[in-house]
Amino acid sequence: MPTHDIIVIGTSAGGLKALGAIVGVLPADIDAVIFIVQHLAADQPSILPQILANVGSLPASHPSDGELIQTGRIYVAPPDHHLLVNQGSMRVVRGPQENRFRPAIDALFRSAARAYGTRTVGVILTGYLDDGTVGLQAIKKRGGVAIVQDPNEAEYPSMVKSALRYVKVDYCRPLAEIPDLLVQLSKEPAAEDEAYPVTEEIEIESNIAQQQMNTQALIQNVEKIGTRTTYTCPECNGSIWQIGVVDPLRFRCHIGHSFTAKVFLSEQTKYLENALWSAVRAMEEKITFSRQMSERMKNYNLQSAVEKYEDHAKGLDAEVSLIRGILLNGFATKRTVTEGEEDQPESL
């Protein structure tokens, strides 16, 4: 009988230490396979598999696209690529970012839930923001097991707190207890998958991550699981849909970019800030040009024209000062990411 032998782990800030604490004590004969996503810098090579292999007894690697899954191994998502799980093999693809990340925890968790259902164990560790919450929800919908690190010991507890808030978590444990729990679960029989069918939402979003649809099919499928909004995607400026009605509120565009509400609001703020700075730049160029024209009009003794250009420059000056005040004061004091959190990928 199948056991809980598909283990997916997601982490971000502070993740190296947490992963080491788990991987370092897992036995070499564990009858399971482990898939890991840690948010990594897209433009830097990663030695995370080497680090994990050195601290523990299990071999670890960045898999290649289409590689077959082997029990007793650790597979780590490479930088700038999603790691996705199919039955018996893996996909390593540069699909659309989810919550601004590639690799994304939600993408891995969702794919494992679709492929292996009740056999899947999802683990959320330390990290900022809320990547992993939606993926853990998918695992629970498919009858899998949800584990989170105790937020009281997590170096950055936001990800685990989000999971605890929105997911019916099976276990909340300190790092020291998670390895034994994983070994225990890998020996316990999993429930029958038939009781937890793949939902249309999980199926469609898994296919989006693998980029298995053309644009027309993608839009038609997103329409099936979402409601079109008046918003635009902060990544590509495309149309965006609200996906489902359960919390956390989330959105997906016709390209495939996906955001929870917290990340979407943060991205909107950045977009607005960039637009305002662009406006300041354009207006300051216009001020300079107006004053240049004013000087030229003086050479022709056209006083009315001089005054017109000067008045125009002064009016723009006042507007620029107003916008600068909003940028330097309003945006500095009204952060849209709670607790000032801004997740930065690590280079490992």
Residue of 5, 106, 130, 131 marked catalytic:
131
Q: Give yes or no for a contact between 36 and 77, defined as CB atoms under 8 angstroms apart.
A: yes
Could you tell me if 125 and 150 are in contact, meaning their C-beta atoms sit under 8 angstroms apart? no
Number of neighbours of residue 199 by Cβ within 10 angstroms:
16
Q: Is 254 a catalytic residue?
A: no
Question: Cα–Cα distance between 271 and 82 in angstroms, integer?
Answer: 25
Which of 137, 147, 81 shows the shortest CA–CA distance to 114?
Answer: 137
d(CA 256, CA 240): 9
Measured CA to CA, the distance from residue 50 to residue 312 in angstroms comes to 63
* Options 4, 5, 39, 81, the catalytic residue: 39
- In this structure, are strands 239-243 and 226-232 parallel, antiparallel, or unpaired? antiparallel
The Cα–Cα gap between 333 and 346 comes to 27
12 is catalytic: yes
> 5 and 120 in contact (C-beta within 8 Å)?
no
User: CB of 99 within 8 A of CB of 128?
Assistant: no
Helices (H), 300-348: 303-325, 331-333
Q: How far is CA 283 from CA 272, 275, 311, 315, in A?
A: 16, 12, 14, 10
SS3 345: coil
Strand partners, 239: 232
Per the CB < 8 A criterion, the answer to whether 34 and 49 are in contact is no
Choose the catalytic residue: 5, 12, 254, 257.
12
Which residues are known to be catalytic? 12, 39, 131
